[in-house]
Amino acid sequence: MPSSILIIRTSSLGDVVYASAVLHDIRQALPDAQIDWVAEEAFTAVPQLAGARRVIPFALRRWRRRWHDPQNWRELAAFRRTLRETRYDVVIDLNEQVKSALIARAAFGSRHGFNRASIREPLACSFYQFTHAVPRTLHFVERCRRLAASALNYTPEGAPCWQWSWEDQPPPDALLMPPEVPYVMMLHATSRADKLWPEERWRRLIQTCRERGLLVLLPWGNAQEQERSERLALGHDNARVPPRASLPELGALLKKARWVAGVDTGLTHWAAALGTPTVAIFTATSPRQLGVNIQGAHAVDLGNIGALPEVETVLETVDALTQRSNETQQRGNA
């Protein structure tokens, strides 16, 4: 039985969230296993909160901006030393890329990845000792679960599941915390302009929340997103643009929100994985392999490639999710 396991999934945020479902599966199948993870430094909080023993930060996104900086090479050497401190029984690459296969090759342990028919970059298979066939048509989270199960010789059971631990995390900054009133979060920001939902529709959604006595939080991660948050909040006294938050702080806010509506972005997928009623708005991508509805009845995908959902549809959906959540809580309190 493998007792020491290394998982490699470096980015992006939504993919790391989905991939971290394997932590629950492995704990169910191998309760004594020690599981480490390699993730981009910006996303290390996710596998930490999901139960990884240790997360090794990888900073390729920062390093490649200035390849000739000697400090970058020193950090890369330190990363390699850290990676090789532990002799793993099994190394599982969930990233499907040559860069992650090279990380697997640098680690000590039997190396597992997708086979050539299943992987995004077939050249990566050259660096694995064992490859596994996983249908490419499956949802991304199920692809990860099946690869880990095949590498570790168990069968994943039931729907994907996450067990988050916030015990070691400091509480969110007081400036981030809303007053003791119900609040929702609207995640309008994404790295691709074609995945945005029109601002006019967000404003109509905010206005409806005002009529219902709901505070709206509009988080942001860069200057452009902050400007959009401020535009959306303008003229709405129920909308708040909080200070820039760390990933654990955002997770804490997402977890306590009454509901979340967001475009196809990492925080939206994380909100659903946290169990918060979530509506994912798709405009330029398909939810078939990346949608939130695989996570349960509390999460719904709306829209599709070139098919933007209307405000009324979003409102009807969040109403249904809120009612379902209230009913579940009432049954739990009975």
Crossing angle of helices 199-211 and 223-233, rounded to 10°: 50
Residue whose pair of structure tokens reads 């979003």 in the numeric block: 314
Residue whose pair of structure tokens reads 């708005």 in the numeric block: 281
Q: Is 160 helix (H, G, I), strand (E, B) or coil?
A: coil
**pLDDT tens readout for residues 33-87:** 999 999 999 999 999 999 999 999 999 888 888 878 888 899 999 999 999 999 9
Q: What is the pTM of this model?
A: 0.93
Tokens read off for 299? 């999460």
Spatial CA neighbour of 167 closest among 48, 315, 85, 83: 48
Q: Where are the beta strands (DSSP E) in 137-240?
A: 183-187, 215-217, 239-240
Which pLDDT tens digits describe the chain residue by residue (334 residues)?
A: 778 999 999 999 999 999 999 999 999 999 999 999 999 999 999 999 999 999 999 998 888 888 788 888 999 999 999 999 999 999 999 999 999 999 999 999 999 999 999 999 999 999 999 999 999 999 999 999 999 999 999 999 999 999 998 766 666 665 566 667 789 999 999 989 999 999 999 999 999 999 999 999 999 999 999 999 999 999 999 999 999 999 998 998 999 999 999 999 999 999 999 999 999 999 999 999 999 999 999 999 999 999 999 999 999 999 999 988 777 776 666 6
- Are 86 and 4 spatial neighbours (Cβ–Cβ below 8 Å)? yes
Peptide bond into 286 cis (omega under 30): no
